[in-house]
Structure 1
C-alpha cells in the first residue's frame, strides 16, 4: 500500500485544501472539458485556492472599482525584487521590461522583433505544444532540435540546427523553454552559457519562456537566461501565472537583456493594452506577498513527485518516469505498455482519467503522456489506479 505523505508543519499545503466535490464546481477548462466521471490530470491548472494576499489585492481593487487599464511599473518592480531574493539575480532592470497579455503572446511579439516572415524558430521537442501552434500562426518555420535521451538540451544537435537555420542568410530565433515543459529539466548555468555562446556564434537570437521559473524542486537552482555570460542580447518572458495559478488573470512581463533593450523598445505600444489591470494587481501581490504560500506549494509538489514515483512502481512498473526538477508536470514514458503512440486515449476511454497526449509535443512525444501533479495526493493515487485499470 502506497503511503500518502503527511503535511509538513507551517503554512498549510494548498494542494490539500480543496475536495473533489468543490473542484468540480469550477467552470475552467480543466473541469469542464470532460464529463464528471473523468478525473482531469491534464491541462496546467492547479487544484488550489488562491494565495490570500492575491485574493485580498483583487478584492480590494474590485471594492474600489479599480478595473481600468494597467499602468506603472509595480509588477516589474515586484518581479525584480523576487528575482533578487529567490535567484540571486539583481540584473532585472525595470526600464528594460514591458507588460504583455501573457507569456505566449509575449513570445510572439518578441519573435516578431528579431525575425521576419518565413524565418526559422528553433525549439527543443518534446516541448510545450503552443510553441508549434503560435510559431506557425505568425508565419515562421518551426525547426526541431530534439532533446537528448536524458531529456536535456543536446548541445551538439542544437549547434547543427543553428548552423542549418542560418545557412542561407536568414535570421533565426531560438525559443528556449526554461525550465523545460514537459520534462521538468532545469537548465544549469553551464548549459545556458553554452547555449548563449552557440547563439552568438551563429547569430541566433534567444527568446526564453521562463514561466515555470518559481516552480523548482528542493535543492535545485533556477538560473535566468539573461543572467549568464553571453545572454545579454536575449529576451525573456516571465509571469506569476503558473506558480500562483493565475492563468485567468492575464499578465506577463517581457524582459530584455542590456543588448536587447533597443529591440524591446520597438515593440508596438498597443501590445501593452492587452494585459488585465486586475491581472497585474494579482501578479504583483503574488510576487510581493505570496512567497510563504509558494513555499508551501513547493513542499507539497515535492511530496507529490515522490508519491507518483511510488505509485508507478506499485501499479505501473513498466512506465518510465524521471522525476522533474521543476514544474508541476510529470512526463511518463508509456511505450512498454503496448498502448500505441497515444496512450492518453486508452487512459481516457478505458480508465476515465484525462492526461495530455505526448503527440502534440513533437518529436519524442509518441508513446508518452504528461500528467499534472498539482492536486491532492488522494487524487493522484486515484488517477494512477485508473491508469492501471486501463490495462486490464
Structure 2
C-alpha cells in the first residue's frame, strides 16, 4: 500500500492565493473548484525551486522540454499505451487543446456533441471554436451512467453534429467509460466521417480496481479520427502553471498537430513544462499516495452521507476527486449549492452549471483532509435538520 498523501491544514491552505482560497470568506469551507488541498509532489517542488534559483522563468522550449517523453513513458506504464512524442504538442491547458483542435476539425456552425451533465466550460469552448453545441445526455439507469451511442449516432447521421467532445473520465461523475463503449463510439464516428476530441485530464487519477482506456488505443478508427487532450494539471495539482499536451496517432490527426500554430506552444508555461515532466517522471509514488487519499475520502463521504444525510444520492466515483451529489430530496430547488453556501457556509459547484440534468445536484471536491470533509457534511446535515 502506498503512503497516503496528507492534506495541508486549513491555516496553511488559507495562505494560498488561488481562486479556491480567495473566492469566499474564511468561514466558508471551499469544496468547489478542482484544486486539491495536498502538498505538491516533492520532485515537482524540487525542480521548480531549482528553476527559480537559476532564474529559469523564460519561454517554454519548442521541443516540449521533456514533458512529452515523460508523459509517453507514464502512459506506457499506466495504460500500456505508447504514444509517439512526435505526434504531440504542448499547449497552455486542456481548454486550449480543445478549442484549437475544434477550430481545425469543424466549419463555422458545425455541431459538436457533448454529453451532459458535463464539465461546464464545454458549453463555452465549442462556441469559442466557432461550432455549435449539440447535447446528447448520458444515459442513466439509476445505478450507472453511460454514453448514449444511439443518440450520438442520430446526431451524426442527421448532420446535426460533425463530431464528439468526449469527457473521459467524465467530470462531474468520475465515470470511467468502458472500453466496449469507446470501441462502439469509434465505430459510430467512423461510419459518419466524424471526429472525437477526448479530454483525458483526470485519467491519472483513476481509482484502484478501475481501468482507464485511452481513446486513441481502442481501434484503428479511433486513431484515425481522434485527438486526445492530456495534462498533469489535475493529477499533480498544477493548473496555475499552464501546460497540457495535444496527442495524436499517425495519419490525418498527426497532420493536424503539425498544422497548429507555433504560438500555441510558445504560450505554454515553461514552469508548467518542468513540473509536468517531473511529475510524470519522478512523482508517481506521490501520485499513488494521492489516489489512496482520494479513495479514502470517497469511501468516507459515502459513510458520512449514509449516516447523516441518507436522502442524498451519491454514486462513488471511479476516478478523480469530484463527487456528484443528488440533493433534490432536500427540497432546496434546482440549485441547492446556493442555499448550502449561504446558510451552511460550504462552497460546492452548482449542479445546473453542468447542464439541465444538474438541476437539484451539486459537485463536491473531496480532495481535502478527512476532517474538513466530515465538517462539510455535518454543516449540510445541520442545515437539512432545520428544514
| Same fold by TM-score greater than 0.5 | yes
Contact residue 2 and residue 285 of structure 2 kept, 8 A: no
Q: 2:285 aligns with which of 292, 304, 312?
A: 292
Distance of 1:202 and 1:293 partners within structure 2: 43
Q: 1:356 aligns with which of 349, 355, 359?
A: 349
Q: 1:151 aligns with which of 108, 128, 145?
A: 145
1:10 CA displacement: 4.9
Contact residue 144 and residue 161 of structure 1 kept, 8 A: no
1:178-257 equivalences under 5 Å are: 178-229=168-219, 230-233=221-224, 234-257=226-249
Distance of 1:163 and 1:315 partners within structure 2: 48
Q: 1:75 aligns with which of 67, 83, 86?
A: 67
Distance of 2:21 and 2:145 partners within structure 1: 30
Match of 1:127 in 2: 118
SS in 1 for 2:113: strand
Q: What stretches of structure 2 of length at least 5 have no aligned partner?
A: none
Match of 1:6 in 2: none
Q: 1:388 aligns with which of 374, 378, 381?
A: 381
Contact residue 60 and residue 267 of structure 2 kept, 8 A: no
1:161 CA displacement: 2.2
Distance of 2:15 and 2:118 partners within structure 1: 31
Contact residue 359 and residue 366 of structure 1 kept, 8 A: yes
1:15-30 equivalences under 5 Å are: 16-30=6-20
Contact residue 175 and residue 209 of structure 1 kept, 8 A: yes
1:1-392 equivalences under 5 Å are: 10-11=2-3, 13-14=4-5, 16-71=6-61, 72-73=63-64, 74-90=66-82, 92-149=83-140, 150-164=144-158, 166=159, 172-229=162-219, 230-233=221-224, 234-259=226-251, 260-391=253-384, 392=386
Contact residue 174 and residue 322 of structure 2 kept, 8 A: yes
Q: What TM-score, normalized by structure 2, do the two folds share? A: 0.95
Q: What TM-score, normalized by structure 1, do the two folds share? A: 0.94
SS in 1 for 2:204: coil
Encode CA deviations 1:290-348: one digit per residue, 9 max, x unaligned. Answer: 00000001111111011000000111101111101001100011111111100101111
Distance of 2:193 and 2:380 partners within structure 1: 46
SS in 2 for 1:18: coil
SS in 1 for 2:145: coil
Distance of 2:146 and 2:316 partners within structure 1: 13
Contact residue 334 and residue 352 of structure 2 kept, 8 A: yes
Contact residue 42 and residue 371 of structure 1 kept, 8 A: yes
Distance of 2:317 and 2:294 partners within structure 1: 11
**Matched residue count:** 377
